[in-house]
């Protein structure tokens, strides 16, 4: 399995993407902003296709769109939490735009590949080149470093917004910055599992971690480990059974881990603990 370069590239890039997704996902679930992640994943699709239509680098389009999208979502909400209805309206529209770009792209460039849309939607982790991997590793590391740098105040602000604000934590800036960071990670994950599936990588490992422990730093660790493990399991499955798409298998692994965590902490198994 490790003899193939595409497989090595996929594993290296996947590991770092998983790490970033796991860490950011933990906060996403803590802040109950999974819906914002959902919205960003759709914005990523639009950005990628817009770049494809304009003849620019798809990845650049995805990055620009998700980071901008994160900021827009942050601005749409109030101080405490984002407004789901406003986010929903915004991303429904961004999907509409995405469809427009998809149509323009497939009608204009009929000679080229019509698969760009599918690649952006569902990822192409087996198609990464060496330089793709380096960019992806570097950006994931930047995202992780940024997140860990603000982890303490962000944790405070996420757990009790009002008290944190009273203590002088810049809650609003942190919230906006976090959503922009979420955008960065979403763009990263788009490469690995595609715009539509990245939500699973954000929500499922983090959801499992939240079920298993209430201690923040242990939860962060669990979430990152689960995300990286899902990527490895998914990639191995897709390698062993070539008909199975890698992104689906990654998400299946992540949801499997989540289901195990649910079962392990279920009330019926441990009658003493009530969640």
Q: What does the binding site for another protein look like in residue numbers (CB under 8 A)?
A: 29-35, 37-38, 42, 84-93, 95-97, 99-100, 102-104, 107, 114-115, 117-118, 121-122, 194, 196-197, 199-204, 206-207, 210-211, 243-245, 247-252, 254-255, 258, 275
Identity of the residue, 133 or 178, whose beta carbon is nearer to another protein in the bound complex: 178
Rounded CA separation 236/256 (Å): 15
Q: How far is CA 94 from the centre of its chain?
A: 18
What's the min distance (Å) between Cβ of 11 and another protein? 19
Rounded CA separation 275/267 (Å): 7
CB 181 within 8 A of CB 142: no
Identity of the residue, 134 or 218, whose beta carbon is nearer to another protein in the bound complex: 218
82-91 as b/e, with b when 16 or more CB fall inside 10 Å?
bebebbeebb
What's the min distance (Å) between Cβ of 207 and another protein? 3
What's the min distance (Å) between Cβ of 3 and another protein? 25
What's the min distance (Å) between Cβ of 134 and another protein? 27
Identity of the residue, 133 or 238, whose beta carbon is nearer to another protein in the bound complex: 238
The string of DSSP codes covering 91-128 is HHHHHHHHHHHHHHHHHHTTTS-TTHHHHHHH--GGG-
What's the min distance (Å) between Cβ of 143 and another protein? 19
What's the min distance (Å) between Cβ of 263 and another protein? 13
Identity of the residue, 131 or 275, whose beta carbon is nearer to another protein in the bound complex: 275
Identity of the residue, 6 or 93, whose beta carbon is nearer to another protein in the bound complex: 93
Residues in the chain: 275
Identity of the residue, 133 or 199, whose beta carbon is nearer to another protein in the bound complex: 199
Closest CA to 39 of 76, 4, 12, 3: 76
What's the min distance (Å) between Cβ of 220 and another protein? 14
Identity of the residue, 133 or 206, whose beta carbon is nearer to another protein in the bound complex: 206
The string of DSSP codes covering 44-96 is HHHHHHHHHHHTS-HHHHHHHHHHHHHHHHHHHS-SSS--HHHHHHHHHHHHH
């Amino acid at each position: 399995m490790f003899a193939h370069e595409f497989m090595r590239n996929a594993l290296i890039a996947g590991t770092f993407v998983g790490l970033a997704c796991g860490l950011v996902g933990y906060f996403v679930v803590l802040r109950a902003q999974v819906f914002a992640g959902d919205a960003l994943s759709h914005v990523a699709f639009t950005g990628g296709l817009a770049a494809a239509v304009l003849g620019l680098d798809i990845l650049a389009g995805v990055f620009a769109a998700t980071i901008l999208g994160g900021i827009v979502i942050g601005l749409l909400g109030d101080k405490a939490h984002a407004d789901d209805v406003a986010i929903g309206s915004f991303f429904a529209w961004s999907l509409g735009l995405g469809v427009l770009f998809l149509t323009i792209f497939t009608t204009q460039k009929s000679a080229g590949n019509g698969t760009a849309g599918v690649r952006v939607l569902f990822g192409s982790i087996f198609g990464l080149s060496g330089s793709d991997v380096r960019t992806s590793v570097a950006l994931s590391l930047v995202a992780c470093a940024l997140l860990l740098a603000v982890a303490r105040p962000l944790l405070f602000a996420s757990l009790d917004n009002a008290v944190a604000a009273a203590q002088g934590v810049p809650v609003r800036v942190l919230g906006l910055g976090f959503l922009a960071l979420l955008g960065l990670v979403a763009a990263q994950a788009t490469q690995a599992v595609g715009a539509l599936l990245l939500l699973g990588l954000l929500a499922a490992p983090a959801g499992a971690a939240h079920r298993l422990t209430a201690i923040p730093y242990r939860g962060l660790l669990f979430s990152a480990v689960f995300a990286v493990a899902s990527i490895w399991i998914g990639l191995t499955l897709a390698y062993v059974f070539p008909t199975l798409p890698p992104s689906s298998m990654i998400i299946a692994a992540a949801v499997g881990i989540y289901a195990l965590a649910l079962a392990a902490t279920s009330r019926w198994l441990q009658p003493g603990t009530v969640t």
